[in-house]
Structure 1
Amino acid sequence: MKQTLSIFCLCLLMACTSKPKQSEKDGFQQKEKFEESWESLQNYEIPQWMKDAKFGIFIHWGPNSVAELHTDWYPRWMYSDKGHINIQTGEIKAGEPHVAYLYHKEKFGDQKEFGYKDLIPMWTMENFNPEEWVSLFKEAGAQYVIPVAEHHDGYALYESSYTRWNSTRIGPNYDVFKALADEIKKQGLIFGASSHLAFNYNYYNQQDYFDTGDPQYADLYAPPHEIGDSVSQEWLADVWWPRTKEIIDKYDPDILWFDFYLDRPEFVPYHKKLAAYYYNSGIERNKDVVLQTKNFNFESYPEGTHMFDLERSKSDKIRKEYWQTDTSIGKNSWYYSKNWIPKSAQELVADLVDIVSKNGCLLLNIGPKKDGTIPEDQKKTLLDIGKWLKVNGESIYGATHWEVFGEGPTKTNTGHLAEIKDKSYTEQDFRFTKNGDNLYAIALVPPTNDIEIKYLNTSNINIKSIALLGYDGKIEFEQSAGKLSIKLPSDAELDYSWVFKIKI
């Protein structure tokens, strides 16, 4: 009896310890808590739900939207009276006032009397309807949504215990972030948060002849210091870290995205601390979470400890680790502006395909107006992408890269803000994805002639049949040792990238 009981106890112990505890929700596996060490953080894995999602919506909205021109860094540029840097091209214009400085002075008044702090109450958002917004995102085929929680301006779109400059106290008197978070979760999408606060310390031009030099507004414009100074440890400990923790603790984001400046040396003491704290917060609520950073100038997070993000850029190859492109529908802006230059749905669908073929996902930004409406042209673009995904989603959602990402003459530029260098795709550009037993060969540009794909020759693959998603007719093809030839169907009426489903 004693021996039988011992064997029973041993079997019970093995059953409890031989594999992680599996939660019913989202495939979560209970883990040991992470420690603040790279050795421990190397045990992090990007969850499968993130790898399957592929397409998300980014939302840049807030007091930045009030000016309606030059809005990306308007709070910075409106004080740039003696030179500035073009963030798209890197061009330095020494001694020249930024057009936003002149625009503000003419439209709103002198920056000493009417500064950025005075624009905040003008963010009225009277037509904001979170239910309509999220319904639009779902119709667009998005699987996750990341609203900006706070930008470089230092203004929190959430109820903050650490700054009076938040949306519940100054401006709309409303927890904008919570309203979006609740609706995103209610409609079954994945909820994320972005923090851009790290750059706030060196964002504003602090001068006595501007309100930025007034000590009573140091809690918005940062403590007085010379621009370019290293971020003080006091500000990190008393401002940045508590506010970052507050977003995690109060709103439970499944994705936490950080803008550049987090990778500066001053933030090194917080890199492991942040990752461990956030990942452990996920464990406490039985959820695998995702930390996304840029690693722009400084290798702040080793590979395998987070998810890498490229701003306005794509990879030129298949990356081993799952990654993300964040970009905007606006070629020249993240926040709404009257001179917004839009990208077409055709461009964005092709970019999405290219990214997925290289083991990535796309986070696409919209810029709502100050009153809370999403411009009609941005709505149309999202809906057009959604229509394409309804037909072709099996080649995207849950898909993986293949042995090669594709072929064609158009090369992808990579690196920070590199998309400005990219050339348009041609009819000879193809990308491959795989989902289950199916291979997808995707023509990035709608073909006008018979198709030839060199890599899909008999030496590399044996094709059984080909179908064209969204088309009911038969697809005629011929495979040789040198290429795959597909006869162009004369009656196919399809928008954007064409997806050929291949049975092997």
Structure 2
Amino acid sequence: MTDDDHATARLPKLDLDALPPAVDVSDNTAALARVRAVIDAGPYRDEWPSLQGYRPPRWYQDARFGIFLHWGVYAVAGFRGEWYARNTYLQAQDEFRHHVDTYGPHRDFGYKDLIPSFTMHDFDPDAWAALFRRAGAQFVVPVAEHHDGFAMYATERSRWSAAQLGPRRDVFGDLAAAVDRAWMVRGASSHRAEHWWFMNGGARFDSDVLDPRTIDFYGPAQREESAPNERFLEDWLLRTVEIIDGYRPQVLWFDWWIEQPAFEPYRRMLAAYYYNRAAEWGREVVINYKWDAFAEGSAVYDIERGAMGGIRPDVWQSDTAVSKTAWSWVRDGHDYKTVRDLIAELADTVAKNGVLLLNVGPKPDGTIPEEEQRILEAIGAWLTRNGEAIYGSRPWTIPAEGPTRPAVGSFVDAAAPEYGPADFRFTTRRDVTGDFVHAIQLGAAEGGRVVVRSFGTDAGLLTRGIADVSVLGAAGPVRWSREPDALVVELGDADPDAVVVKVSLEPEAVQPRQDALHG
């Protein structure tokens, strides 16, 4: 049966009698003692002033571009997105009606019954890693566990994992190893916190969420208004510790609900544990957080599907997707962003001192949709030509030029503006060959030339003279002139749809030492 025709046929149900035995995680005393021992050994304590001594690693600031992956049981349904597990139990939602029409009543065929069809039988982790490397990614962050509570890694705290059910392999670990082999950095995301309430709709009518045989999967299914209790918080901490110790990710991404006050002491414990373990490994690591979950400076701030209004002094991250409509694979197709839109998003983020984490959503058979592969290959081709304006770059004096401004804040990427030839983003870099400023044009060039007003003599932004001007990827030198109101670059045969102007600055004047003057 193919992924495309499964919805018209009856899928096999999960055989409850063949499930592995449930795991007893009621007594966490010994595991918590081991966590405390790592924290007490230092160098970080589980106190905000200590954690604010953290500094983001150089490799992460230089990377600027990573790949995010949402894939899990929800892809079997492939209907509207990765929140299918919740929305299928909310009777007013389209997912509920779709589920009943396709699979039957929830008491007879629930979300858990999609697990046997989550086969990943064509999953090739090395092919995925090769694609991500061709896309120009420097690190890869797969979902270790989403809100649905199905672990994509080999966990000892639950029987509900890809290692024991569905594909029956540690798909997360296999991909992490492939990422290593491709010389990228492995990461992980945890969405476990939201599981406290995620499946609670199924507790409000006759559904399999009420079946005591599967309470260790669907539970807790508590009210959204309630704070998680200590046992759940301990389990959240220890599941995250399990990911840290089992896979050593160097990026650890969290979704929003950990900002709830009940998580506060556990967040501090988690950060201190992770940073201390990383110190033991000799690795530099990153925690990504949203809103106010972590104290300023203790981790790296993340904006979901959003943008900054200007340059942030500390490195930050935007997580977004190739699709405007969902993070995971959907059967009826996505409203995909254009490659130009995504490159503009990348340039805007980097110009403001950010890192872009771009998501794709694999299919339940373990393949990445062809359109998403095409998008990644196109981004990689652009980065092959223009990567020196992105990797290892830092913000310039100003981030942007031009009349078009993107919306600022979270969840604004679906309304991305259409940029024109007057819209630019700027980055700067220094290496052994000199100092450079890059102007990344967000719209296609017109009239065979590029006009950068911020580089004009009257703008006063370039405090040193221009030694040379080039266009990245161009076959040879280009003609240019610097005028009071702009730098004008004649493109010649250069591609007008992918222009990055590179300005080489004259060397800084070296002041002679006073003792040398009187030698």
Decide: shared fold, TM above 0.5: yes
Distance 1:389 1:327, change over 3 A: same
Answering whether residue 181 of structure 2 is matched by residue 182 of structure 1, we say no
- Residue 455 of structure 1 aligns to a residue in which SS? helix
Equivalent position of 1:457 in the other structure:
456
- Residue 301 of structure 1 aligns to a residue in which SS? coil
- Residue 398 of structure 1 aligns to a residue in which SS? coil
Distance 1:471 1:309, change over 3 A: same
Give the superposition deviation at 1:392. Answer: 0.8
Take 1:474 and 1:168, find their aligned partners in 2: how far apart are those partners?
Answer: 55
Equivalent position of 2:441 in the other structure:
443
Q: What is the identity, as a one-letter code, of the residue corresponding to 2:204?
A: Q
Q: After superposition, where does 1:249-268 map in structure 2 within 5 Å?
A: 249-268=245-264
Equivalent position of 1:484 in the other structure:
487
Report if aligned partners of 2:312, 2:353 keep a CA contact under 8 Å in 1. yes
Answering whether residue 406 of structure 2 is matched by residue 412 of structure 1, we say yes
Answering whether residue 360 of structure 2 is matched by residue 366 of structure 1, we say yes
Equivalent position of 1:91 in the other structure:
none
Take 1:276 and 1:32, find their aligned partners in 2: how far apart are those partners?
Answer: 8
Equivalent position of 2:132 in the other structure:
137
Q: After superposition, where does 1:62-81 map in structure 2 within 5 Å?
A: 62-81=72-91
Report if aligned partners of 1:215, 1:224 keep a CA contact under 8 Å in 2. no
Equivalent position of 1:286 in the other structure:
282
Report if aligned partners of 1:59, 1:366 keep a CA contact under 8 Å in 2. yes
Give the superposition deviation at 1:486. Answer: 2.6
Equivalent position of 1:493 in the other structure:
495
- Residue 291 of structure 1 aligns to a residue in which SS? strand
Take 1:452 and 1:287, find their aligned partners in 2: how far apart are those partners?
Answer: 44
Q: Pick from 222, 226, 231 the counterpart of residue 229 of structure 1.
A: 226
Equivalent position of 1:38 in the other structure:
48
Give the superposition deviation at 1:405. Answer: 0.6
Identity of aligned residues (%): 39
TM-score (norm 2): 0.85
Take 2:222 and 2:137, find their aligned partners in 1: how far apart are those partners?
Answer: 42
Take 1:391 and 1:144, find their aligned partners in 2: how far apart are those partners?
Answer: 20
Q: Pick from 90, 93, 96 the counterpart of residue 101 of structure 1.
A: 96
Distance 1:265 1:378, change over 3 A: same
Equivalent position of 1:121 in the other structure:
116
Give the superposition deviation at 1:490. Answer: 4.2
CA RMSD of aligned residues (A): 1.5
Equivalent position of 1:198 in the other structure:
193
Equivalent position of 2:472 in the other structure:
469
Equivalent position of 2:316 in the other structure:
323
Comparing 391-400 and 201-210, the one that deviates more: 201-210
Take 1:216 and 1:411, find their aligned partners in 2: how far apart are those partners?
Answer: 53
Report if aligned partners of 1:315, 1:412 keep a CA contact under 8 Å in 2. no
Q: What is the identity, as a one-letter code, of the residue corresponding to 1:328?
A: A
- Residue 204 of structure 2 aligns to a residue in which SS? coil
Report if aligned partners of 1:79, 1:101 keep a CA contact under 8 Å in 2. yes
Give the superposition deviation at 1:61. Answer: 0.6
Equivalent position of 1:86 in the other structure:
none
Q: Pick from 46, 51, 60 the counterpart of residue 70 of structure 2.
A: 60
Give the superposition deviation at 1:227. Answer: 4.1
TM-score (norm 1): 0.87
Q: What is the identity, as a one-letter code, of the residue corresponding to 2:386?
A: N
Equivalent position of 2:61 in the other structure:
51
Give the superposition deviation at 1:454. Answer: 2.1
Per-residue Cα deviation, 1:129-149 (whole angstroms, up to 9, x for no partner): 001110111111111001100
Equivalent position of 1:210 in the other structure:
207
Give the superposition deviation at 1:234. Answer: 2.1
Take 1:392 and 1:223, find their aligned partners in 2: how far apart are those partners?
Answer: 49
Give the superposition deviation at 1:306. Answer: 0.3
Take 1:224 and 1:147, find their aligned partners in 2: how far apart are those partners?
Answer: 25
Distance 1:440 1:274, change over 3 A: same
Task: Point out where structure 2 has 5 or more consecutive residues left out of the alignment.
Answer: 1-40, 506-519
Q: What is the identity, as a one-letter code, of the residue corresponding to 1:378?
A: E
Equivalenced residue count is 453
Distance 1:397 1:102, change over 3 A: same
Give the superposition deviation at 1:32. Answer: 5.8
- Residue 501 of structure 2 aligns to a residue in which SS? strand
Take 2:280 and 2:150, find their aligned partners in 1: how far apart are those partners?
Answer: 29
Per-residue Cα deviation, 1:357-412 (whole angstroms, up to 9, x for no partner): 11011111111111011111111111111111111111111111111112111112
- Residue 56 of structure 2 aligns to a residue in which SS? coil
Q: What is the identity, as a one-letter code, of the residue corresponding to 1:230?
A: A
Equivalent position of 1:396 in the other structure:
390
Give the superposition deviation at 1:318. Answer: 0.5
Equivalent position of 1:89 in the other structure:
none
Take 1:196 and 1:452, find their aligned partners in 2: how far apart are those partners?
Answer: 45
Equivalent position of 2:152 in the other structure:
157
Q: What is the identity, as a one-letter code, of the residue corresponding to 2:160?
A: W
Give the superposition deviation at 1:472. Answer: 2.4
- Residue 244 of structure 2 aligns to a residue in which SS? helix
Comparing 427-436 and 461-470, the one that deviates more: 461-470
Take 1:274 and 1:420, find their aligned partners in 2: how far apart are those partners?
Answer: 33
Equivalent position of 1:247 in the other structure:
243
